[in-house]
Amino acid sequence: MTTPKTISPAAAAALLENGALLVDIREAAERQSGVIPGAAHAPLSALQACEIPAPSGQPVIFHCKSGGRTGLNAAALASKVNGCEAYLLEGGIDAWRSQGLPVTDPE
């Protein structure tokens, strides 16, 4: 298992266009402030019980609010995606939003 690499919002957006899976590890209440379209939800508090729906070989990008929690939990996140390249969204959804990338209301 390798440690996930950080990835800029622009690079993450490009990977997502090519089929990468985005996983939001924020808690449900935090998601009320907005979500990145298409992101799967796997709250950090329930990570051990979560299945990350990524086919082998599909890149997986994890994000939180500002990048702190993904960085602190990088090894645990990487362990959930065996066989996939794992990335951490640099700056979290805050950086994504500041780059003008899309954020929508949660469903």
66-104: per-residue pLDDT in tens?
A: 999 999 999 999 999 877 899 999 999 999 999 999 999
Residue of 7, 36, 61, 64 marked active site: 64
Query: Hey, what domains does the chain have and what are their CATH numbers?
Result: 5-98 (3.40.250.10)
Q: Which of 59, 64, 68, 65 is nearest to 4 (CA)?
A: 59
**C-alpha to C-alpha distance for 56 and 94, rounded to whole angstroms:** 29
Q: Is 64 one of the annotated active-site residues of the chain?
A: yes
Whose tokens are 């794992």? That residue is 86
Q: What is the pLDDT of residue 1?
A: 56
pTM score, whole prediction: 0.95
Q: What is the pLDDT of residues 13-64, one digit of tens each?
A: 999 999 999 999 999 999 999 999 999 999 999 998 988 877 778 999 999 9
Going by C-beta distance under 8 Å and a sequence separation of 6 or more, which residues neighbour residue 14?
Answer: none
